[in-house]
């Protein structure tokens, strides 16, 4: 049967919108992404292991220009070029050992900044008014973020590196803690990979921000889209002043740094629901539809009055040929008919 058009919400942040810090190595690397300054920000160096791409550190410094802009409805966002600001902002990616120099252009009439979690920076790149590190209206400022590998503490144990699923956000709009900037959309995802980490086919960024997902409520929340068998990565971030949990239907992951096991003897617990509270973040990789097949699968906050209030969305797993299963289209139609939004059934 012919594929019927899917009624879409706003698609999530896919690979094409990522800013991937590192060097391109051969045809296996992802395409470069043009930064707002016109310079190319390359994809991470990769190596093939049994047909899978893995991250390779280069120790290089990459530069990207990000524009902070006012958006309709009193919102704000970060973008890679003028007029391209989004909520969340562009996904930034590094491999341990890389440095990222971010030239932040403030095109608004408000002071604001960009503050990272999980990486190294000096006080001048802190992104907080506490350290006099922010952009005045119309000002351009450079922030430098560094990453490093885990290392020996010289007889005091081992110290962690910076690999992880992190995020960045404003810390200056409307006050010294950037509360208004977070409420209005000035945030984005940051991934630091360890050398040898498996690279996904797609990455989705999900931000639980008070009673919204990416500042939207169902049925306008992002619908994330993959083909059966694709390696899909989720970066989950919490903001605002409310506690949440993140649940993904029909898929599970290992409760560790990456979401996949290190080997057959790795006894890390498998989970499909995890706390996602303000300032926290985690990520994982799954194979789309593995063991369950294609379909429209729900993701949502499992605090029940939150999901009833619109904190739910759709993860669409297409057939291998890219078509949409009939039952998935029917589920999406029901979702847009109100069953995924206010007062409706939001899943288990």
Q: Which two tokens stand for residue 215?
A: 């500042």
- The whole-number pLDDT of residue 46 equals 61
State whether residue 103 is helix, strand or coil.
strand
**Per the omega criterion (within 30 degrees of 0), is the bond before 160 cis?**
no
The percent of residues in the chain predicted with pLDDT above 70, rounded, is 82
Give the separation between CA 124 and CA 318, rounded to whole angstroms.
46
Q: How confident is the model at residue 153 (pLDDT cuts 50, 70, 90)?
A: confident
Query: Do 244 and 300 meet the contact criterion of CB atoms below 8 Å apart?
Result: no
| Residue 290, C-beta contacts closer than 8 angstroms, at least 6 positions apart | 229, 251
For the segment 12-63, what is each residue's pLDDT rounded down to a tens digit? Answer: 333 333 443 332 222 222 222 222 223 333 345 666 555 688 998 788 999 9
Q: How confident is the model at residue 156 (pLDDT cuts 50, 70, 90)?
A: confident
> What's phi and psi for 341, nearest 5 deg?
-110, -145
Instruction: Name the helix (H) or strand (E) containing 67.
Output: strand 61-71
**pLDDT at 236 > cutoff 80:** yes
Count CB neighbours of 164 within 10 A.
Answer: 21
Q: Which two tokens stand for residue 300?
A: 């949502």
The percent of residues in the chain predicted with pLDDT above 90, rounded, is 76
HSE-CB for 210 with a 13 A CA cutoff: 10
**pLDDT at 11 > cutoff 80:** no
- The whole-number pLDDT of residue 150 equals 84
| Residue 346, C-beta contacts closer than 8 angstroms, at least 6 positions apart | 218, 298, 300, 304, 307, 308, 311, 312, 340
Q: Which two tokens stand for residue 162?
A: 């910076």
Q: How confident is the model at residue 151 (pLDDT cuts 50, 70, 90)?
A: confident
Mean of the per-residue pLDDT values for the chain?
85
| Residue 303, C-beta contacts closer than 8 angstroms, at least 6 positions apart | 243, 244, 245, 311
For the segment 217-234, what is each residue's pLDDT rounded down to a tens digit? Answer: 999 999 999 999 999 999
141 or 10: which carries more pLDDT confidence? 141
Q: How confident is the model at residue 213 (pLDDT cuts 50, 70, 90)?
A: very high
For the segment 274-318, what is each residue's pLDDT rounded down to a tens digit? Answer: 999 999 999 999 999 999 999 999 999 999 999 999 999 999 999
> What is the largest distance, in Å, between two alpha-carbon atoms of the chain?
66
Q: In order of start, what are the domains of the chain with their CATH numbers?
A: 15-193 (2.60.40.420), 202-339 (2.60.40.420)
**pLDDT at 347 > cutoff 50:** no
- The whole-number pLDDT of residue 65 equals 98
Give the separation between CA 146 and CA 273, rounded to whole angstroms.
31
């Amino acid at each position: 049967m012919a594929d019927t058009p899917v009624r879409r919400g706003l698609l999530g942040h896919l690979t094409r919108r990522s800013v991937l810090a590192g060097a391109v190595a051969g045809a296996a690397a992802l395409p470069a992404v043009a930064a707002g300054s016109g310079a190319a920000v390359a994809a991470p160096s990769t190596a093939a292991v049994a047909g899978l791409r893995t991250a390779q550190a280069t120790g290089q410094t990459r530069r990207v220009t990000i524009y902070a802009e006012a958006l309709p409805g009193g919102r704000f966002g970060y973008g890679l070029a003028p007029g391209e600001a989004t909520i969340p902002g562009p996904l930034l990616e590094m491999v341990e050992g890389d440095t990222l120099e971010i030239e932040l252009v403030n095109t608004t009439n408000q002071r604001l900044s960009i503050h990272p979690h999980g990486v190294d920076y000096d006080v001048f790149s802190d992104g907080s008014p506490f350290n006099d590190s922010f952009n005045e209206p119309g000002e351009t400022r450079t922030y430098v973020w560094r990453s490093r590998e885990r290392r020996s503490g010289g007889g005091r144990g081992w110290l962690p590196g910076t690999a992880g699923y992190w995020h960045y956000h404003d810390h200056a709009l409307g006050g010294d803690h950037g509360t208004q900037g977070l409420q209005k959309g000035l945030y984005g995802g940051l991934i630091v990979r360890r050398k040898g980490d498996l690279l996904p086919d797609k990455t989705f960024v999900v931000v639980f921000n008070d009673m919204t997902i990416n500042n939207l409520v169902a049925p306008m929340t992002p619908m994330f889209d993959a083909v059966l068998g694709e390696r899909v990565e989720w970066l989950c971030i919490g903001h605002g002043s409310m506690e949440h949990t993140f649940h993904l239907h029909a898929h599970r992951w290992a409760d560790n740094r990456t979401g996949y096991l290190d080997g057959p003897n790795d006894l890390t617990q498998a989970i499909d629901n995890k706390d996602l509270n303000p300032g926290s973040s985690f990520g994982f990789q799954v194979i789309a539809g593995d063991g369950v097949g294609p379909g429209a699968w729900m993701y949502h906050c499992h605090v029940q009055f939150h999901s009833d209030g619109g904190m739910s969305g759709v993860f669409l797993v297409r057939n291998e040929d890219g078509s949409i299963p009939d039952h998935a289209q029917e589920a999406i139609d029901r979702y847009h008919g109100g069953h995924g939004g206010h007062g409706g059934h939001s899943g288990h």
